[in-house]
Structure 1
Amino acid sequence: MTTQTTLLTYDDYINGPEIKQRYDIVDGKMIFMAPAPTLRHQRILRLLVRILDTFVTEQDLGEIYFAPADVVIQRSPLRTRQPDLLFVSNERSEILGDVVEGGPDLVVEILSPSNSRQDIADKLADYANVGVRECWLVSPEAQTVEVLALTEGAWRRTSLHGQGDPIHSNIFDDLEAGVSQLFV
């Protein structure tokens, strides 16, 4: 006896019930993430949201969203990602609806021990495909923030920041935030 898997379509996804658990959709298959991020992960995200949302709001630059917020990578086969944090500038606001349909200016992934190199590579490839301009990889273990910029379709590391370093962003020129603010 064979079992046939039904792949999730874009219409199923948009019109389906709200799902409370975090997930990505890869080629129409829903891939659930760990039931809940650790408190350490949540603390880093909360601090990062506070820093970036204050900066973005004061400068009237756009909108900050945090997980779970779906970024549609492609409609068929359906592919979505849920970065820990994302920023969409006023210039790209047309991609905002019930979900994000296109590339945010910035995505942030807070790494966990369960993330494999392949997981990160797959996410970065998806983010490049929709034109995300910048990606931050935050490592709680190493207490670092790696900043990647999309240049001619490929990710290039522009900086790696450790404890005591300011975070330099190509998107937020005037941002005054330090890595130490995330790891308290």
Structure 2
Amino acid sequence: MIDHWRTFAAYNAWANRRLYGAVAALPPQDFARDGGAFFRSLRGTLNHLVVTDAIWLDRLRGGFTPPHQLDDVPYPEFAPLEEARAALDAALSAFVAALTPADLDRELSFRRQASPEPIRQRLGSALAHLFNHQTHHRGQAHALLTQFGGPEAGPPLDLLLYLRETGAA
């Protein structure tokens, strides 16, 4: 099962690199353009993913207090956001690489921003949520890319493509 999560961490970083490369190819004004997504724009959506991944990584490491609100935009400019994303993907990959099978059953304890009661969750199910959440919002960002730049603006992000390209299939 550990190999499963290591594959997802590597896939996550690969998909983010592809997505960010496509965003960089758009005209700069499209980065903050409101496209009607849940977090409105590519800037809002990609910042949300950085914020939530930072929160989850802190929780996975045993932290308890979220550093940001879910709709914060700590990186209003693309270049620093891209750097933060790459650093976060590297940190997440390193965290997952160090896990043992027993770690997946470790219980996390944290508080959600929306409610004060403590939450307890297994680390393995938290990883499932983190990677699924990434895929969900990457899909929204992909829709914005194709809305702004046409069908060719959105790169393929399929897990099967990643597995074939890396020889992990």
Scaled by the length of structure 1, the TM-score of the pair is 0.28
More helix by share: 2
Scaled by the length of structure 2, the TM-score of the pair is 0.30
